[in-house]
Amino acid sequence: MMNAAVKPAWLRKPVTDTAAKRGMNALLKEKRLHTVCREARCPNLSECFGAGTATFLILGTVCSRQCAFCAVEKGRPLPVDNAEPGRVAEAAAALKLTHVVVTSVTRDDLPDNGAAHFAETVLSIRRRLPGASVEVLTPDFQGSRENLETVLSSGPDVFNHNLETVPRLYSIRPRASFARSLSILTCARKLAPAALVKTGVLVGMGETKEEVLDLITSAALAGCDILTVGQYLGPSRSHWPVAEYVRPSLFEEYRVFGLSQGIRNVFSGPLVRSSYRAGRFVNDPTYNKRRVE
């Protein structure tokens, strides 16, 4: 364990200003689109924007929940923009993406929690970029199987829903439930047997090693093919405090343990985020097929 007062060297990443990054910002402005990279203050933003990749954030930038660890704005969500799915597809085509990742704020205010908007975004990308793989990173849809089915009916190649943290710390996720999130993953595995099912967790919030190992076991039993484990970095002093900076050696332990539990690929490291280099798991033939049951 390392004291959280001083950020260690392995978490320091240079902020770059390249032509590719400026081009990405200009495209997002032109298409009136948002990314979780910017809204959630991702430490990999410069790298990803510089490489011409981003995770599109749909359904606005204001979340209906009050999670204490997340930098995304919270409050009354914005009206749904029905033209947004088409603009996401246009941007993905302009960037010539081979793997497109789409996520959203949580929309408890909508009757279907935004499921139909997710599905239309996937279908729009399919029409514009038929050769690209598509990954969705969804909220829990308040546990609705019907809403989950709506999203999965659009045929995403990867279904991602993050467990975020261990059950004991779920007080930082008001109106969320570890059991509900786990059930979403389990249900997705059954409803979409050909898709890759993925989840992610942040560590350094105050959990124990044993709790993380239990979470990894639960993810494996739910049928997850991909797991990401990254370091929690408090967005501000008003957010949940960082309890510790987890050493790289422990991230490696989590990776090895996840593989031993049958998870096909575990991407574990201090700066890992759930969508970081996401395409490698689908477009690399080493990873692109689900395990044979």
Reported as a single tens digit per residue, the pLDDT across 45-76 is 555 655 546 689 999 989 999 888 887 888 98
pLDDT band (50, 70, 90) for residue 279: confident
pTM of this prediction? 0.89
In a domain, residue 8? The reply is no
* pLDDT given at position 235: 80
State the CATH number of the domain containing residue 222: 3.20.20.70
Domain count, the chain: 1
Token pair of 257 as six digits: 């343990």
In a domain, residue 291? The reply is no
In a domain, residue 142? The reply is yes
pLDDT tens digits, one per residue of 146-202: 999 999 999 999 999 999 999 999 999 989 999 999 999 999 999 999 999 999 999
Q: In the 8-state DSSP scheme, what is residue 288?
A: S
Which residues, at least 6 apart from 28, have a Cβ–Cβ distance to it below 8 Å? Answer: 34, 35, 54, 91
In a domain, residue 5? The reply is no
* pLDDT given at position 35: 74
Number of helices (H), then strands (E), belonging to the chain: the values are 10, 10
Is residue 102 within 8 Å of residue 58, measured between CB atoms? Answer: yes
Q: Residue written as tokens 């989840």?
A: 199
Written as one letter, the residue type at 230 is G
* pLDDT given at position 288: 47
Which has more pLDDT, 293 or 178?
Answer: 178
In a domain, residue 4? The reply is no
- pLDDT higher than threshold 90 for residue 37: no
Q: Please tell me which of 1-10, 38-47, 190-199 the model is most confident about, judged by mean pLDDT.
A: 190-199
Token pair of 6 as six digits: 């001083």
In a domain, residue 161? The reply is yes
Q: What distance in Å separates the CA atoms of residue 282 and residue 260, rounded to the nearest whole number? A: 21
Residue 38: phi and psi, rounded to 5, are -80, -45
* pLDDT given at position 293: 35
Token pair of 81 as six digits: 């923009």
* pLDDT given at position 292: 34
In a domain, residue 270? The reply is yes
- When the pLDDT of each residue in the chain is averaged and rounded to a whole number, the result is 86
In a domain, residue 129? The reply is yes
Instruction: Write out the residue range of the structural domain in which residue 153 sits.
Output: 13-283
Length of the chain: 293
Give the count of alpha carbons within 13 A of 261, CB side only. Answer: 25
* pLDDT given at position 194: 93
Average pLDDT for 77-103? 92
